[in-house]
């Protein structure tokens, strides 16, 4: 993979990059470069070129994109900026938008999804559960609809909310514009799959039919991209937005 940084914006507080699909945001396996390490190396080289020596550059991760997902990633360059933006993320006052190319013809032109999510211990994947299933939680275990016991991480059940708008559709797929209201693990991927429209190329949450169509249409990578992120800048205190154009891989 090309480890060259695609920098959208940089100032004294933040660096905004277009993370490519296939690169981890951070914590990549040995021998592979992740985005945060790449940024840290870039800032260290920049400091050396400017004659600055001393402690390593500060790189504060504010949020992560799944490894198969490309898009806008904002990283803080100092602790004050990290704290300021992280508070907005925690309070759900940032604006985060995605494009998703999903399987099937989504009937409604727009919609609102509100689900309860857990993360399974056996395979680490997210799962949508009903209110009744959620109420069965005891000792980090819930009882699913067919009486099956499911162990979950941390005994947590989290509310997941998003809004979507259909941008384009054909008989086999639909391109959605999504605004996240919450930021849960694999949220968009599991909610769209539960809706009956898994994201093309998603081997974790896709169905036999969606994956077969993904192969036929050449959409073998997860067709999801974080295309726009907005927040109040830590220095100017003004709302700023950073975005990318729709990736070619997501176009119908």
Mark whether 115 and 82 lie in a shared domain: no
Residue 142 lies in a domain: yes
pLDDT tens-digit readout, 101-117: 999 999 999 999 999 99
Instruction: Retrieve residue 209's tokens.
Output: 């039919």
* CA-CA-CA-CA dihedral for 47, 50, 51, 53, to nearest 10: -10
Residue 222 lies in a domain: no
pTM recorded for the entire structure: 0.92
Residue 163 lies in a domain: yes
Residue 230 lies in a domain: no
User: Which CATH number characterizes residue 107's domain?
Assistant: 3.30.2350.10
Mark whether 30 and 128 lie in a shared domain: no
Answer with the residue of higher pLDDT: 102 or 33. Answer: 102
Residue 237 lies in a domain: no
Residue 79 lies in a domain: yes
Mark whether 185 and 210 lie in a shared domain: yes
Mark whether 105 and 211 lie in a shared domain: yes
Over range 41-50, report the average pLDDT: 90
How many C-beta atoms surround the C-beta of residue 16 within 10 A? 18
Q: Using the predicted structure, report yes or no on whether residue 3 has a pLDDT greater than 80.
A: no
pLDDT tens-digit readout, 134-193: 999 999 999 998 889 999 987 789 999 999 999 999 999 999 999 999 999 999 999 999
Identify the pLDDT of residue 50. 83
Identify the pLDDT of residue 52. 82
Q: What is the DSSP string of 124-180?
A: --EEEE-HHHHHT-BTTEEE-TTS-EEEBGGG--EEEEEEEEEEEE-SSEEEEEEEE
Mark whether 79 and 33 lie in a shared domain: yes
Q: What average pLDDT is seen over the chain?
A: 94
Identify the pLDDT of residue 174. 98
Mark whether 15 and 61 lie in a shared domain: yes
Q: Provide, for the chain, the percentages of residues in helix, strand and coil under a 3-state DSSP scheme, each rounded to the nearest 5.
A: 25, 35, 45
Q: Which helix (H) or strand (E) holds 88?
A: helix 79-90
Identify the pLDDT of residue 155. 74
CA angle in degrees (0–180, nearest 5) for 126-65-172: 70
Mark whether 146 and 194 lie in a shared domain: yes
**Which domain-ending residue is among 31, 61, 91?**
91
Of the pLDDT bands very low, low, confident and very high (cuts 50, 70, 90), residue 31 is low
Mark whether 207 and 170 lie in a shared domain: yes
Of the pLDDT bands very low, low, confident and very high (cuts 50, 70, 90), residue 71 is very high
Mark whether 68 and 114 lie in a shared domain: no
Mark whether 118 and 202 lie in a shared domain: yes
**Which domain-ending residue is among 45, 70, 91?**
91
pLDDT tens-digit readout, 220-250: 999 999 999 999 999 999 999 999 999 999 9
Structural domain harbouring 123? 100-217
Residue 251 lies in a domain: no
Burial class (CB in 10 A: 0-12, 13-18, 19+), 49: exposed
Mark whether 106 and 32 lie in a shared domain: no
Distance separating alpha carbons of residues 167 and 45, to the nearest angstrom:
42
**Which domain-ending residue is among 50, 68, 91?**
91
Mark whether 180 and 142 lie in a shared domain: yes
Identify the pLDDT of residue 1. 44
Residue 252 lies in a domain: no
Identify the pLDDT of residue 167. 98
Number of structural domains the chain divides into:
2
């Amino acid at each position: 993979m090309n480890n060259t940084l695609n920098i959208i914006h940089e100032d004294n507080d933040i660096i905004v990059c277009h993370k490519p699909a296939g690169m981890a945001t951070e914590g990549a396996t040995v021998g592979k470069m992740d985005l945060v390490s790449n940024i840290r190396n870039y800032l260290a080289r920049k400091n050396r070129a400017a004659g600055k020596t001393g402690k390593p550059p500060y790189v504060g991760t504010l949020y992560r994109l799944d490894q198969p997902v490309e898009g806008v990633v904002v990283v803080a360059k100092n602790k004050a900026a990290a704290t300021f933006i992280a508070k907005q993320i925690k309070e759900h006052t940032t604006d985060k938008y995605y494009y998703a190319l999903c399987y099937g013809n989504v009937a409604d032109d727009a919609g609102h999804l509100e689900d309860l999510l857990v993360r399974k211990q056996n395979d680490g994947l997210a799962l949508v559960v009903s209110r009744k299933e959620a109420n069965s939680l005891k000792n980090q275990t819930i009882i699913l609809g067919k009486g099956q016991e499911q162990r979950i991480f941390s005994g947590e059940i989290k509310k997941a909310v998003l809004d979507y708008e259909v941008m384009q559709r054909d008989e086999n797929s639909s391109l959605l514009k999504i605004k996240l209201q919450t930021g849960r693990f694999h949220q968009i991927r599991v909610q769209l799959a539960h809706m009956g429209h898994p994201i093309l190329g998603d081997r974790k949450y896709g169905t036999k039919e969606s994956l077969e169509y993904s192969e036929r249409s050449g959409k073998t990578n997860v067709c999801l991209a974080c295309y726009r992120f907005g927040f109040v800048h830590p220095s100017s205190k003004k709302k700023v937005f950073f975005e990318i154009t729709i990736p070619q891989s997501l176009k119908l």
